[in-house]
């Protein structure tokens, strides 16, 4: 089995303890395993975690497997997740309904374990290939960071995750100061080198696995920091400014400083915040406004609400 499958996550949903134990043991060496005993818990996992495949019983407590499938397939943030059903009482009518709802497979719960393992593994292989292709299409060719298309997807995903999970989310918009002057003075090849260096420093500033860096456009970048409040975001911003300064990349003679610097605008949403942004786009707009303030104040600094 390809090694990349170890990074994929299988969500198993069943209220049968023995079934959960058997399935978990069988797949644990090949995939990350998440377990849910009812449809409500499963839905929370799907919304808050990176689930690659759902293997669900039909009759799950609270929210049935079919109800869960309907929600997942009607939500643009989760519609890509494949769902496999297993049933104690297999019949063609039920199979037809499940497949028409968007499920990728429907099997007998008593299917030989080796066959079930192969079915799941084959679907996971397709998921892995799709993710690899998606990564290529969503990566900025110059810097290796995510591109604007991927950023638009992630900001909405992390926004809804923060709202549902009642945790903080911070956004940093980072701009290379006087970058046009830099290109005019040293040429676009040196400009590209500068962009790559700054991008690597931004990527290196991520402190959690969920932190996400993207090229916003031109010489602007965005850093999303889930589970981070405004204080934590300021700490990251200050550290990043210092790291860029320490690289001592010569700036254009007409620039404000001797070495290349960055300005950062910060915005954050918190569970207790009274003036929180009302949408993901508003969060980005607040960060962008604060970036403008940082540049107006002299650049080479951050500004936050």
Q: How confident is the model at residue 6 (pLDDT cuts 50, 70, 90)?
A: low
Give the pLDDT of residue 137.
85
What b/e sequence results for 45-66 when a residue is b if at least 16 CB atoms lie within 10 Å of its CB, and e otherwise? bbbeeebbbbbbbbebeebbbb
Give the pLDDT of residue 133.
85
The total of other beta-carbon atoms located within 10 Å of residue 242's CB is 9
Q: Residue 190 pLDDT > 70, yes or no? A: yes
pTM over 0.85? The answer is: no
**Neighbouring-strand partners of residue 224:** 171, 212
| Pairwise CA distance, residues 118 & 116, whole Å | 5
CATH of domain 148-304: 3.30.70.270
> Does CATH number 1.10.220.150 belong to domain 3-136?
no
Give the pLDDT of residue 305.
80
What mean pLDDT comes out for the span 261-284?
A: 90
Residue with tokens 């918009």: 173
Q: Residue 22 pLDDT > 80, yes or no? A: yes
Q: Residue 3 pLDDT > 60, yes or no? A: no
Give the pLDDT of residue 76.
84
Q: Residue 5 pLDDT > 80, yes or no? A: no
24 neighbors 35 (Cβ within 8 angstroms): yes
Give the catalytic positions in this structure: 219
> Per mean pLDDT, which range of 28-42, 110-124, 128-142, 251-265 is the poorest?
128-142
* Share of residues in the chain with pLDDT > 70 (%): 98
Q: Please report, for residues 40, 78, 99, 166, 303, the alpha-carbon distance to residue 58 in angstroms, rounded to integers and kept in the order given.
A: 14, 19, 12, 30, 52
What mean pLDDT comes out for the span 12-26?
A: 95
Give the pLDDT of residue 1.
41
Q: Write out pLDDT tens, residues 73-95.
A: 999 889 999 999 999 999 999 99
Considering the chain, what is the average pLDDT of its residues? 93
Give the pLDDT of residue 49.
87
**Neighbouring-strand partners of residue 223:** 172, 213
Q: Residue 2 pLDDT > 70, yes or no? A: no
Give the pLDDT of residue 38.
96
The total of other beta-carbon atoms located within 10 Å of residue 269's CB is 24
> Per mean pLDDT, which range of 1-10, 70-79, 144-153, 166-175 is the poorest?
1-10
Q: Write out pLDDT tens, residues 217-272.
A: 999 999 999 999 999 999 999 999 999 999 999 999 999 899 999 999 999 998 87
Where along the chain do its domains lie?
A: 3-136, 148-304
| Residue predicted with more confidence, 275 or 45 | 45
């Amino acid at each position: 089995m390809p090694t990349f499958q170890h990074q994929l996550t299988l969500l198993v949903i069943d209220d049968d303890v023995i079934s959960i134990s058997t399935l978990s043991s069988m797949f644990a060496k090949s995939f990350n395993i998440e377990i849910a005993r009812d449809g409500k818990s499963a839905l929370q996992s799907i919304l808050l975690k990176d689930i690659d495949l759902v293997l669900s019983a039909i009759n799950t407590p609270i929210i049935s497997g079919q109800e869960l499938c309907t929600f997942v397939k009607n939500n643009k943030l989760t519609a890509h997740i494949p769902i496999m059903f297993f049933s104690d009482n297999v019949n063609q009518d039920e199979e037809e309904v499940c497949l028409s709802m968007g499920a990728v497979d429907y099997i007998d719960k008593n299917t030989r374990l080796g066959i079930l393992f192969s079915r799941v593994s084959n679907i996971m292989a397709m998921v892995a290939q799709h993710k690899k292709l998606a990564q290529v299409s969503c990566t900025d060719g110059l810097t290796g960071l995510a591109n604007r298309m991927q950023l638009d997807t992630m900001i909405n995903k992390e926004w809804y995750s923060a709202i549902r999970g009642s945790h903080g989310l911070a956004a940093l918009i980072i701009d290379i100061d006087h970058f046009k002057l830099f290109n005019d003075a040293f040429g676009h090849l040196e400009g590209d080198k500068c962009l790559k260096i700054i991008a690597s420093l931004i990527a290196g500033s991520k402190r959690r696995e969920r932190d996400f860096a993207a090229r916003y456009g031109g010489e602007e970048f965005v850093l999303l920091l889930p589970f981070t409040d405004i204080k934590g975001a300021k700490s990251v911003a200050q550290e990043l400014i210092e790291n860029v300064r320490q690289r001592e990349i010569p700036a254009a003679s007409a620039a404000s400083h001797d070495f290349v610097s960055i300005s950062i605008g910060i915005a954050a949403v918190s569970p207790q915040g009274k003036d929180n942004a009302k949408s993901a786009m508003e969060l980005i707009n607040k960060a962008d406004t604060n970036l403008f303030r940082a540049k107006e104040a002299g650049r080479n600094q951050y500004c936050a609400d």
